[in-house]
Structure 1
Amino acid sequence: MNEGAHPPDWREQSLNRLYRQLSGDRWYDAEAGPVVRPYAMTRGRTRSATDALFDLVSLVQTLNRTARPEVMLSPEHRLLLQHCRQPLAVADLSASTNLPLGVIRVLLGDLYGEGLIHVTRPVPPAQLPGEDILREVLNGLRAL
């Protein structure tokens, strides 16, 4: 071996040492708390079968039911159930739990599939009464 030459695995050892120094062997930092990737919370799913049900303004509320014994609820599922004791919009739920909207939708889909939550969707604009009908109602109320 030449003077100054490195053993064959020196690059791998150097990279491993650099990684340990940079990461500090920590999986979290003090301010952020434990780091859990969103795909770990949803078990790799990006959509649920009921994804279209959870519009940003859809109201979600916990039903007074308990999960079947064979259903294992994650801490995130339990957190959502706790927040939804009173009706709460999906967007507000995402903001109050500090979880991404996509994760919220997948987890809510799980809870909906288990019959643990009720979802109230907003009325589509096409089904709302027209301006002329509202004007007639207003005129009728004024006439009273």
Structure 2
Amino acid sequence: MSREHEWVDEEAGPVVRPYAVARGRTRSSSAALDLLATVAGTGLPVPAQAELSAQHRRILGQVARGRGTPVAEVASDLNLPVGVIRVLLGDLLDYGLIQVRQPPSRADTPTENLLREVINGLRAL
């Protein structure tokens, strides 16, 4: 029997538990991979020593297409739990195949008062 996916039917998908996809790991190697962080491919070639699974390659295919994809969106698009995606993204980060950008901090976002002043100024025009 092939070690490829064993299918129950088209809708059920592969019979592989999430912990098996992450090779039994539950934590990412990087704390930077929170739900709002965005990830993008670096475009570097896959190192010879890298052991990438089909899910790793699916992630690379998805994040290589855009300027940055939130971690939560990667999980949703690939239909895998966020915890598994964070572990797999940590692997890719360790190999230098992705880069992580943190969302702007609350201190960097405009305050409600500033936004109201801008709106009032625009209305006054």
TM-score, scaled relative to structure 2? 0.78
Match of 2:56 among 57, 77, 95: 77
Shift of 1:80: 0.2
- Cα distance in 2 for residues equivalent to 1:140 and 1:66: 51
Q: Which has the higher helix share?
A: 1
RMSD: 2.2
What residue number does 1:93 align with? Answer: 74
Closer/same/farther in 2, CA of residues 113 and 143 from structure 1, 3 Å limit: farther
Does residue 45 of structure 1 match 2:16?
A: no
Q: Which runs of 5+ in 2 are unaligned?
A: 1-5
What residue number does 1:34 align with? Answer: 14
TM-score, scaled relative to structure 1? 0.69
Instruction: Report how many aligned residue pairs link the two structures.
Output: 117
- Cα distance in 1 for residues equivalent to 2:108 and 2:61: 33
Say which structure, 1 or 2, has more relative contact order (CA 8 Å, 6+ apart): 2
Pair member with larger Rg: 1
Does residue 62 of structure 1 match 2:62?
A: no
Shift of 1:123: 1.1
Give % identity: 50
